[in-house]
Amino acid sequence: MHDYENTMLIEAVERYITGEMSPDERLNFENLRKADAEVDQMVVEHTLFLQKMNRFNEWQKFHKSLNEIHTNLAESGKINSEKLKGRAKVVYLFNRYKRVASIAAAIAGITTLMVSAIISSLTPKASPSQVDYLSKELRSIKNKTIVQDREINNLKNQGATHHLPEIPYTKGGTGFIIDAKGYLVTNNHVIEGAKNVAVQNAAGKEFFATVVYSDEAADIAILKITDESFKTLPSVPYAFSRKQAELAETIYTMGFPRDEIVYGQGYLSSRTGYNGDTLSCQIDIPVNRGNSGSPVINYNGEIIGIVNGRQKDAQGSAFAIQSSNIYKALTKLKENNKEDSTTRQLKLNTKSSLSGMSHIQQVKKVQDYIYMVKVN
Amino acid sequence: MKETIHEQELILLKGLARSDKKSVEEIYKHNFNLIQALIVNNSGTADDAKDIFQEAMVVLYEKARSGSFELNCQIRTYLYSVAKRLWLKRLQQSNKFVSDFGDDGMASVAVEDDLTEHQEKDTEYELMYQSINKLGEPCKSLLEAVYFQKKSMQDIADGFGYTNAENAKTQKYKCLMRLKKVFFTQYNKKD
């Protein structure tokens, strides 16, 4: 009997809360509430509880719908969840084990060094000249194959297309892309007096180029790749700084003092160049012949200058033209070619997509935009 | 332009409060990748990212439906700030070495109070979940049918094999009393 009464009461409370009572009934119930504190207490408590259940239910449903949405979006590719899974795992594992891995690597490195030290101390030494000789032999064999390859290519191309005259390039330097459509900047002294200019990318592919602008005083030249086989690159990853770089700022450069791209790191050692030249600055990076025209980049991915020379008696320090000169050169180039629409559209990237990346990643991205400049 | 963005976000929030699927999806779509990047770049997995993002969404949802929510920053900023705090907390709990994320260029807003509130609600939901599961069958399904699926007593009587609706009501009453008892014993202990 007691149970039954309670059931009735709860039902009444629930109907009261949900507003299902008729006005008369409601009035009666409210009177009952006033008269009986126990009933009132029950209404309050039950309201609270139903509210909690309701909220819980909505919360649970919301969670479920979030999961559904996630699956839907991931399947339709609107969020990059699945794609990221593999990468995320690698990054996660890397972050988790990097300390262990570096310790292991260090131990491995030491062991390797010790082993190689023992081996080298035990093996009979070959005379240096012998080694030299062998490497030259290799090179001449390599050259021979290259020549043979060309010969074969020429034979293949004959008849079908005109074949290009072989141009022996005598001078070289470095240049880097300022606009993805195939505009590069380099030093004027690299291309000075040039009859033919070609550029070659890090992958070894060669393109013909012409000099579209040169300024002897500023030692800047702009080249345009004219080769039909050149395809517009993805947008330039680095930015061009208008500001002067800070003293001691860590910088790096990449260029072609050899056939292979060479990376060098250092810092800005003076804001002015040789004999107080304010157009340039002094950097402490080992550079060699062929580095002329290499970009000087900071780790925000901003070009701060172009390598252009070194002091004869000072090892290690070099000079670079400040990047604001690139802006100036471009403005002049536009003035000279007002009719040319491609020239008018040239624009230097001001927002680097490299900042925040690790050095190695930055260098990987940048190297595709650095070309060897070959001149005869 | 700024004005319309703001209005658009308000509409989205209103939709979210109603748990309107389109709005939720819209917010999800536009913010998930950002949060995922945050988590993954700070030693989390893609699953962690999903967890954290969804929890942040729940915080936003609770706030939106509380009615007292004023949007004083972008939804994106809010979610980002919440996710960041949640993730830092989780990293600390798992005793992992935490270097502060540093300045990641994203603006953050203070969300401490919201998170405390969220934490309380979460404990309560957890408690409700456990309480309902403790009841066992058929009480669990019966109560769910009445209060969550809002089925009529007659349908329930048919579905659960009670002779009539009255009988089902008595049964429901018994289950509800048990649930309340289980729930409130724990609930009051916490206060």
Max avg pLDDT among A93-97, A108-112, B81-85, B180-184: A108-112
A117 band by pLDDT with thresholds 50, 70 and 90:
confident
Q: pLDDT tens digits, residue range A312-332?
A: 666 667 888 888 888 988 888
* Among candidates B19, B46, B170 on the partner chain, residue whose Cβ is nearest the Cβ of A58: B19
Whether A251 contacts A268, CB under 8 Å: yes
Domain B114-190 CATH class label: mainly alpha
Give the closest residue to A218 by CA, choosing from A252, A197, A187.
A187
Distance of CA A365 to the CA centre of its chain: 5
- Other beta carbons within 10 angstroms of residue B117's beta carbon come to 14
Contacts of A318 (CB under 8 A, 6+ apart): A282, A283, A284, A285, A286, A287, A291, A307, A309, A310, A311
A248 band by pLDDT with thresholds 50, 70 and 90:
confident
Q: pLDDT tens digits, residue range B110-142?
A: 777 778 878 888 888 888 888 888 887 788 888
Whether A245 contacts A251, CB under 8 Å: yes
Q: Do the chains contact at B36 and A80, CB–CB below 8 Å? A: yes
Instruction: Examine the pLDDT at A8 and tell me if it is beyond 50.
Output: yes
ipTM value, please give it.
Answer: 0.80
Per-residue pLDDT at A161:
43
Identity of residue A323:
S
Main-chain phi, psi angles of A369, to 5 degrees: -105, 5
Q: Do the chains contact at A56 and B125, CB–CB below 8 Å? A: yes
Give the closest residue to A209 by CA, choosing from A163, A178, A253, A239.
A178
A122 band by pLDDT with thresholds 50, 70 and 90:
confident
CA distance A333 to A329: 6
Q: pLDDT tens digits, residue range B28-82?
A: 888 888 888 888 877 777 888 888 888 888 888 888 877 666 667 778 888 888 8
CA distance A212 to A44: 86
Q: All domains of chain A, ordered by start, with CATH?
A: 2-71 (no CATH), 172-375 (2.40.10.120)
Which residue's structure tokens are 């020379």?
A309
Instruction: Examine the pLDDT at A137 and tell me if it is beyond 50.
Output: no
Whether A14 contacts A46, CB under 8 Å: yes
Q: Do the chains contact at A7 and B169, CB–CB below 8 Å? A: yes
Instruction: Examine the pLDDT at A53 and tell me if it is beyond 80.
Output: yes
DSSP A272: S
CATH architecture observed for domain B2-110: Orthogonal Bundle (1.10)
Whether A365 contacts A237, CB under 8 Å: yes
Per-residue pLDDT at B190:
60
Q: Do the chains contact at B36 and A92, CB–CB below 8 Å? A: no
Per-residue pLDDT at A142:
64
Give the closest residue to A332 by CA, choosing from A231, A213, A238.
A213
Q: Do the chains contact at B61 and A62, CB–CB below 8 Å? A: yes
Instruction: Examine the pLDDT at A261 and tell me if it is beyond 80.
Output: yes
Per-residue pLDDT at B1:
40
In chain A, residues with a C-beta closer than 8 Å to the C-beta of B177 are 6
CA distance B79 to B36: 12
Distance (Å) from the C-alpha of residue B108 to the closest C-alpha of chain A?
19
Per-residue pLDDT at B2:
46
CA distance A62 to A52: 15
Ordered by start, the domain boundaries in chain B are 2-110, 114-190
Contacts of A94 (CB under 8 A, 6+ apart): none
CB pairs A-B closer than 8 Å? 100
